[in-house]
């Protein structure tokens, strides 16, 4: 059987482009932090441009719902996502709920015939992710996942370089999403049952996705790794994200590392932490190819570097100008445009599922002490 992430299974593109020349009805589920800070402001701009209409908002917390409606409405408001999905004016859905609440509304949205963008990670695990991708494929609707970092100017420039063959064969990647002291204290980020995991699933997901995308999504064949909790159960440590974490409500790892091998012979090392005695926060990936290497710092495009050997000389080069990009806004614009133009989404559910499958395998390897082979 083919893997769910095979390119020929990528969902979307089946529907006719019935949306040209009129605003698409948007329904957003989960009007909390990320929705109010970046998703809804992006839709508001697109609404001003006549491309969408914010039709409906949903949250189980009436105060969050009222707050979002006051800022981004007036829209129809719901405390139950099933009711939002029953609204025929909602054509495209945006799911910004916590990870454990990604799969149920996404599957229900596809069953209701809507297009979907869902925040990252795809779900708390790959089993749920598979249900979501299968539902998207069955519905023939667009399914994008919120791996917004791909839209940055640095990553886009490097992707063009890779696609032009400038790195040659990429055979190794080193990906780091490391915080020295950065435990998110809002939401459910330290609760395994609601979040699916710790830094690996929260921020490791971005850097792994970035690396796989730049590598051209080679098929993984094996994963080994370790997930550890060395600080989460302790008290008295600094947390640069404000208040201290609650050691009694810390059921995720605070550090993870893994090693992935791919069918084409390439390999990748992944490191991720909420707490680590490291110099500083790092959101970085290095790719090593037969013709060149690159370094990407996702917090600072100016640190982008390209390493080559040309005409008997070793060169370090860097882009002279990269425009600042609001990556979340760009991701929403891209989602909406893919619906209008009836073209494939930029971050398909299938690729987010591949990320989730690797992360699941890393956790499994940590639990069993063995390499996981696909
Ligand atoms: N891409 C990024 O940069 C980025 C950044 C932050 C968060 N996120 C992702 O966004 C998601 C939400 O994170 P957040 O920080 O906004 O969390 P949050 O807790 O601030 O917001 C989530 C909201 O969902 C609501 N909710 C929960 N269950 C619901 C349900 N059944 N129906 C309707 N609403 C429901 C909550 O009441 C809350 O208001 C997570 O999956 C997270 O990984 C992504």
28, 30, 208: residue to mutate for ligand 1 pocket, most atoms within 8 A of CB = 30
Is the pLDDT score of 11 beyond 90?
no
Residue 22 binned pLDDT confidence (cut-offs 50, 70, 90): very high
Q: Are residues 141 and 175 in the same domain?
A: no
> Does the residue 355 lie in any domain?
no
Containing 77, the helix (H) or strand (E) segment is: strand 76-78
Tell me what the mean pLDDT of segment 245-252 comes to: 94
Nearest to 136 by CA among 107, 112, 96: 107
Span 17-30, average pLDDT: 92
Q: Show the tokens assigned to 216.
A: 């051209």
pLDDT in tens, 126-167: 999 999 999 999 999 999 999 999 999 999 999 999 999 999
> Residue 89: pLDDT band by 50, 70, 90 thresholds?
very high
351-365: pLDDT as tens digits: 999 999 999 999 999
Residue 276: give its domain's CATH number: 3.30.360.10
| Beta carbons within 8 Å of 101's beta carbon, 6+ residues apart | 30, 95
> Quick one: pLDDT band at residue 240, thresholds 50, 70, 90?
very high
Q: If you search the block for the tokens 């550890």, which residue do you land on?
A: 228
Ligand 1 pocket test target in 119, 203, 325, 347 with most atoms within 8 Å of CB = 119
Whether 283 and 333 share a structural domain: no
CA 102 to CA 51: how far, in whole Å? 25
**328 C-alpha to ligand 1 centroid (Å):** 14
Tokens representing 35 are 């929705």
User: Ligand 1 centre from 338 Cα, in Å?
Assistant: 24
pLDDT of residue 6: 41
Domain of residue 293 covers 153-324
Number of domains in the chain: 2
The token duo for 333 is 């614009």
The verdict on residue 365 lying in a domain is no
pLDDT at 83: 98
- The minimum-distance atom of ligand 1 relative to the CA of 80 is 32
pLDDT at 54 over 60: yes
> What is the model's pLDDT at position 335?
98
Q: How far is ligand 1, taken at its centre, from the CA of residue 39, in Å?
A: 11
Q: Say what the pTM is.
A: 0.95
Q: Give the pairing of strands 115-119 and 143-146.
A: parallel
**Does 46 map to a domain?**
yes
Q: Retrieve residue 41's tokens.
A: 């402001």
Q: At 29, give phi and psi (nearest 5°).
A: -115, 120
- Same domain for 157 and 136, yes or no, is no
Can you tell me the distance from the alpha carbon of 234 to that of 246, in angstroms, rounded to the nearest whole number? Answer: 9
What's the mean per-residue pLDDT of the chain?
94
- Output the pLDDT for position 186: 82
What was the pLDDT predicted at 242?
84
Q: What's the rounded mean pLDDT across residues 234-241?
A: 93
Give φ, ψ of 270 to 5 degrees.
-125, 135
Best of 33, 195, 196 for a ligand 1 pocket test (most atoms within 8 Å of beta carbon):
33
Q: Is the pLDDT confidence value at 5 over 50?
A: no
Spacing, Cα 251 to ligand 1 middle (Å):
19
Closest residue by CA, ligand 1 atom 39: 32
pLDDT of 3 reads 44
pLDDT at 14: 43
Residue 51 domain-assigned? yes
Over range 282-286, report the average pLDDT.
98
DSSP class of residue 348? B
Q: How much distance in Å is there from the Cα of 283 to the middle of ligand 1?
A: 22
pLDDT at residue 13 tops 60: no
pLDDT at 8 over 60: no
pLDDT in tens, 196-214: 999 999 999 999 999 999 9
Residue 348 confidence (pLDDT):
98
Q: Are residues 126 and 164 in the same domain?
A: no
The answer on 300 and 170 residing in a single domain is yes
* Ligand 1 interacting residues, C-beta cut-off 6 A: 29-35, 58-61, 64, 81, 96-99, 101, 119-120, 146, 148, 186-187
Same domain? For 229 and 209 the reply is yes
Decide if 275 contacts 261 (C-beta within 8 A): no
Asked if residue 221 and residue 276 are part of one domain, the reply reads yes
Tell me the CATH number at 105: 3.40.50.720
Atom nearest to 31 CA in ligand 1: 39
Give the β-pairing of 24-29 and 92-95.
parallel
Mutate to test the pocket of ligand 1, among 97, 204, 274 (most ligand atoms within 8 A of CB): 97
Asked if 104 and 14 sit in the same domain, the reply is yes
Of 24-28, 257-261, 321-325, the range with the lowest mean pLDDT is: 321-325
Residue 361 lies in a domain: no
Q: pLDDT value at position 341?
A: 94
Provide the pairing of β-strand 267-273 with 282-289.
unpaired
């Amino acid at each position: 059987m083919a893997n769910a992430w095979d390119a020929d299974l990528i969902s979307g593109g089946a529907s006719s482009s019935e949306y040209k020349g009129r605003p698409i009805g948007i329904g957003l589920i989960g009007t909390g932090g990320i929705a109010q800070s970046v998703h809804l402001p992006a839709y508001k701009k697109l609404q001003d441009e006549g491309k969408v209409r914010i039709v409906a908002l949903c949250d189980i917390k009436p105060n969050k719902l009222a707050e979002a409606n006051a800022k981004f409405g007036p829209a129809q408001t719901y405390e139950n996502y099933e009711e939002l999905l029953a609204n025929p004016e909602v054509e495209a859905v945006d799911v910004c709920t916590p990870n454990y609440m990604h799969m149920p509304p996404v599957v229900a949205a596809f069953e209701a015939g809507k297009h979907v963008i869902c925040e990252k990670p795809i779900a708390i695990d790959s089993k749920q992710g598979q249900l979501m991708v299968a539902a998207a494929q069955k519905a023939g609707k667009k399914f994008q996942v919120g791996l917004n970092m791909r839209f940055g100017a640095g990553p886009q420039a490097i992707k063009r370089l890779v696609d032009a063959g400038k790195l040659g064969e990429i055979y190794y990647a080193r990906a780091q999403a490391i915080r020295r002291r950065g435990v998110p204290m809002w939401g459910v980020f330290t609760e395994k049952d609601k979040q699916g995991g710790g830094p690996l699933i929260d921020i490791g997901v971005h850097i792994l996705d970035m690396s796989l995308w730049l590598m051209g999504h080679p098929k993984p064949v094996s994963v080994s790794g370790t997930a550890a909790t060395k600080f989460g159960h302790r008290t008295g440590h600094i947390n640069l994200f404000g208040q201290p974490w609650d050691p009694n409500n810390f059921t995720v790892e605070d550090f993870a590392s893994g090693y992935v091998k791919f069918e084409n012979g390439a390999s990748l090392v992944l490191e991720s932490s909420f707490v680590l005695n490291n110099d500083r926060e790092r959101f970085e990936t290095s790719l090593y190819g037969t013709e060149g290497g690159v370094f990407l710092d996702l917090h600072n495009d100016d640190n982008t570097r390209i390493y080559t050997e040309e005409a008997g000389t070793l060169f370090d080069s860097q882009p002279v100008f990269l425009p600042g990009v609001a990556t979340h806004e760009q991701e929403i614009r891209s989602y909406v445009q893919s619906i209008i133009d009836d073209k494939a989404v930029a971050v398909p559910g299938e690729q987010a599922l591949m990320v989730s499958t690797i992360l699941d395998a890393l956790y499994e390897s940590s639990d069993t002490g063995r390499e996981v082979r696909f």
